Amino acid sequence: MLKLPALALVLLPLACRAPAESPAVGLPAGKSLIELALEPEPIECFTYKPAHWSGERMIFVHHGVLRNADEYRDHAVILGDRFDALIVAPRFDAERFPSRKYQRGGILNEDGTAARPAEWTYAFIPKIAAAIRELEGRPRLKHWIIGHSAGGQFAMRMSAFQDTGAERIVAANPGTDLFPTRDMEFGWGFGKLPDELSNDDVLRRYLAAPLTLYLGTLDNAVDEYLDTSPNSVAQGPGRLQRGRAAFALAQQTARDHGWPCAWRLVEAEGVPHDHELMFAHPSCETALFGPR
């Protein structure tokens, strides 16, 4: 594994180790594992570079609750090859990034007070993007984000609070959604958050975010990972219903306030709760790159 200090990264081809003094020359073609020595925590990233990558696109892929970034990277190879994209799958391990800091981004401390934006887990994403751009020598490299399940929750909530610089953020089959309302407490909505994280300006920016809800039409049943707490069930019985309800409320809220809404709803017909099938589905192209 390559270890890269802060923006002086560490990068190694998969199952290789480079001398500490080796200069950064970009990621090798194929699969790699790198470690970025970012503040305040180092982050491992599993990567894939197509053999003939043009250097135009980078896609961040965010894992689910199993923290299996390596498998997500492996299953996203199809995205890299299909869309000529460098794949970057950061791993947010459960020990350092429990649900409060992963699915909910760490915007609140354990005591419920607001965390500093520099401490948010979301803040890692632009840092990782900058590090990869520096490593590749491509300062204008555009990036897209797709997260599935718990990674979909991470992506969706991140779109409300963090300027990621992404062209499009895709929340695929999130277990719970961030509804654009203060009538639900945070996790499900913006209720009980400090004013600076929940005022109308925040809601307006959230609706203007380049967010796609990407839903499998068979992801409509209860499984062992689905949150069935009362607040979650109030959003709908399954992930499909919750995502559709979040999108409908976003559209209605935008109409009521005269705000723009840049969200998209894209569905993968016949797909259950399976990130590999979601990535491989033809609709994934629309979710990532289709018109608003």
Whether pLDDT at 20 is above 80: no
pLDDT per residue over 103-137, tens digit each? 999 999 999 999 999 999 999 999 999 999 999 99
Predicted pLDDT at 15:
36
Predicted pLDDT at 3:
60
Whether pLDDT at 236 is above 60: yes
Alpha-carbon distance 234 to 174, whole Å?
Answer: 15
Question: Do the beta carbons of residue 271 and residue 281 sit within 8 Å?
Answer: yes
Alpha-carbon distance 119 to 123, whole Å?
Answer: 7
Residue 22's pLDDT band (cuts 50, 70, 90): very low
What one-character-per-residue DSSP string does 183-233 give?
SSBBTTBSBTS-GGGTSHHHHHHHHHS-EEEEEETT--S--TTS--SHHHH
Whether pLDDT at 282 is above 60: yes
Question: Do the beta carbons of residue 54 and residue 39 sit within 8 Å?
Answer: no
Q: Which residues of 82-94 are buried (b: 16+ CB within 10 A; e: fewer)?
A: ebebbbbbbbbee
The C-alpha R_g of the chain, in whole angstroms, comes to 18
Alpha-carbon distance 172 to 149, whole Å?
Answer: 6
Per DSSP, what are the bridge partners of residue 30?
49
Alpha-carbon distance 247 to 258, whole Å?
Answer: 16
Question: Do the beta carbons of residue 175 and residue 133 sit within 8 Å?
Answer: no
Q: Residue range 211-230: average pLDDT?
A: 96
Predicted pLDDT at 291:
78
Predicted pLDDT at 214:
98
Q: In this structure, are strands 142-148 and 169-172 parallel, antiparallel, or unpaired?
A: parallel
Residue 7's pLDDT band (cuts 50, 70, 90): very low
pLDDT per residue over 169-210, tens digit each? 999 999 999 999 999 999 999 999 999 999 999 999 999 999
Question: Do the beta carbons of residue 34 and residue 120 sit within 8 Å?
Answer: no
Three-state DSSP class for residue 235: coil
- Opening angle at CA 174, ends 172 and 175, nearest 5: 150
Predicted pLDDT at 16:
34
pLDDT per residue over 58-91, tens digit each? 999 999 999 999 999 999 999 999 999 999 999 9
pLDDT over 70 percentage in the chain: 91
Whether pLDDT at 286 is above 60: yes
Predicted pLDDT at 292:
54
Question: Do the beta carbons of residue 241 and residue 267 sit within 8 Å?
Answer: no
Domain, as residue range, for 196: 2-289
pLDDT over 90 percentage in the chain: 90
Predicted pLDDT at 24:
47
Alpha-carbon distance 60 to 21, whole Å?
Answer: 28
Torsion angle in degrees (nearest 10) through CA of 61, 62, 68, 73? 0
pLDDT per residue over 132-166, tens digit each? 999 999 999 999 999 999 999 999 999 999 999 99
DSSP category for residue 273:
S
Enumerate residues 6+ apart whose C-beta is below 8 A from 145: 59, 60, 62, 125, 155, 158, 164, 166, 168, 169, 170
Report the chain's mean pLDDT, rounded to a whole number: 93
Give me the residue label for tokens 């794949």: 87
CATH assignment of the domain containing 244 = 3.40.50.1820
Enumerate residues 6+ apart whose C-beta is below 8 A from 248: none
Domain total for the chain?
A: 1
